Amino acid sequence: MKAEDLAARYRIDKGKDFRLDKVDPSDTAGLDIEKDEAKELLAENLDDMRKQQERLYAEGKWSILIILQAMDAAGKDSAIEHVLSGINPQGCDVHSFKAPGPVELNHNFLWRHQLVVPPRGRIGIFNRSHYEEVLVVRVHPELLEAQSLPEELAGKDIWETRFEDIRNFESQLANNGTVVLKFFLHTSKDEQARRFIDRIDEEDKNWKFSPSDMAERAFWDDYMHAYEDMIGNTARPHAPWFVVPSNNKWFSRLVIAAALVSAFKEIDPKFPDVSDDEKRRMKEAREILAAEIEGGRK
């Protein structure tokens, strides 16, 4: 299956009628392959991404923003490690957004994210993002109190207002040359339980487990409703969501890589043209350098 076809299978860019229960977290698009074969396919995409990223950086016109959202243990960190390891770190920045602090709470909810959007020629990765404000804060509305919003602005319409703010923010990014790619790593509740058990049973993974993980798991249905509403309200052609089946990590990595390869093909970055005058100067420089090398040998 071509990268473009695999990415298109899970792309949501008109989310009004989106239903999360129509996406099977265990789906593998009919691929029945061994682990080594999956690694080979991923390696091919990573090689393509490396070449395209160099052109993106050299051209300096476009940027790419990758947004990763998921329930705990869905594989965001491992996706960054395995998929985005193919990207030159000099042209990429990863931002992990934790709970906002006092300074951030005194600004609008998009402020801290606007500060770190990727500049032209670079790739930015948001490990969690501004979408936490319509996910965690929606499931736990008491968190709104810490944001000191005027009462008339914190009513029942706040989620629609925030969806509109997010759409406008991402539209502005797209209009200025930032390709916005949003990934929801979709795991089942049973698969999350298995991964939590692994973290408990394997000593070198104990550090990954927190009692708060269990507390949030109790709100699973609320989170699924929030994700479904979020995707439905913010999926647009210029800022699509990819609902990535993630019960099988090898497959979720293939889908993320395929979406990136597809995005690169769409913008088709190119190395800058070199003028005849620049070529002449390079030729002169080469002759001087070659003469210096030759002279040094004598």
Report domain extents, the chain. 3-273
Residue 38 burial (CB count, 10 A) = 18
Report the CATH architecture of 3-273: 3-Layer(aba) Sandwich (3.40)
Residue 132 three-state SS: helix
Q: Give the confidence band of 154 by pLDDT, cuts at 50, 70, 90.
A: confident
CA 50 to chain centre: 17
Q: CA of 192: how far to CAs of 27, 49, 127, in Å?
A: 16, 30, 18
Element (H, E) at 99: none
pLDDT more than 90, % of the chain: 79
Q: Read off the pLDDT band of 297 (50, 70, 90).
A: low
3-state helix, strand, coil in the chain (%, to 5): 60, 10, 30
pLDDT at 269: 96
Cβ density class 261-297: b for 16+ within 10 Å, e for less: bbbbeebebeeeeeeeeeeeeeeeeeeeeeeeeeeee
Which one-letter amino acid corresponds to residue 51? K
Which pTM does this prediction carry?
Answer: 0.93
More confident residue, 152 or 232: 232
Rounded CA separation 239/135 (Å): 18
Q: Is residue 245 within a helix (H) or strand (E), and if so which, with residue range?
A: strand 241-245
